[in-house]
Amino acid sequence: MATWADVHRFVHNAYKAEDLNDSLIRLLFNTANLRKQIVFLEHAVNDSGSEWLKVTSPIGTTAQVDPTQAATLVSEMLVGGISMGGDYVYVTNSMPMANLDANEIIEPMERVLNIADYLEKEIVGADAV
């Protein structure tokens, strides 16, 4: 896969996905213990014009989550960083789209959603979806 159109087609064929706009897809996953976790896939372009796939999953609101605590927990993980947008704290990861294939979408997406679900449970103590 090399373009957003390819990623979009793959995601919609493999998962139940909802387009929020032309560059943002929302997916909802069931996780352990009857929990749910949202994942967003976003088409992003960096300052040099390269296309990237950004994967984010919310942990909770900024009122619920201490970003320093979340970042400390994520620092022990192979994938993911912490970002804040609006009133939410997210686990995030990005990768260049140019040479992506299916496993390079699925593996990071699953890691981000599982890390976010773990942090949500540890920090917030409830399923916030």
Tell me if residue 64 falls in helix, strand or coil.
coil
Separation between Cα atoms, residue 57 and residue 119, nearest integer Å = 11
- Digit-coded pLDDT (tens) for 71-123: 999 998 888 899 999 999 999 999 999 888 888 889 989 999 999 999 999 98
Strand pairing report for 88-96 and 81-85: antiparallel
Higher pLDDT, 124 or 21: 21
Residue 87 dihedral angles phi and psi, to the nearest 5°: -100, 15
Quickly tell me which residue has 């213990």 as its tokens: 33
Sheet holding 51-61, edge to edge: 17-21, 24-30, 36-45, 51-61, 88-96, 81-85
What does the domain layout of the chain look like in residue ranges? 4-124
pTM, two decimal places: 0.92
| 3-class secondary-structure state, position 78 | coil
CA 12 to chain centre: 16
- Comparison of pLDDT for 102 and 58, the residue scoring more: 58
- Residue 41 — pLDDT band, cuts 50, 70, 90? very high
CATH number of 4-124: 3.30.1460.10
**Model confidence over 18-34: pLDDT tens digits?**
999 999 999 999 988 78
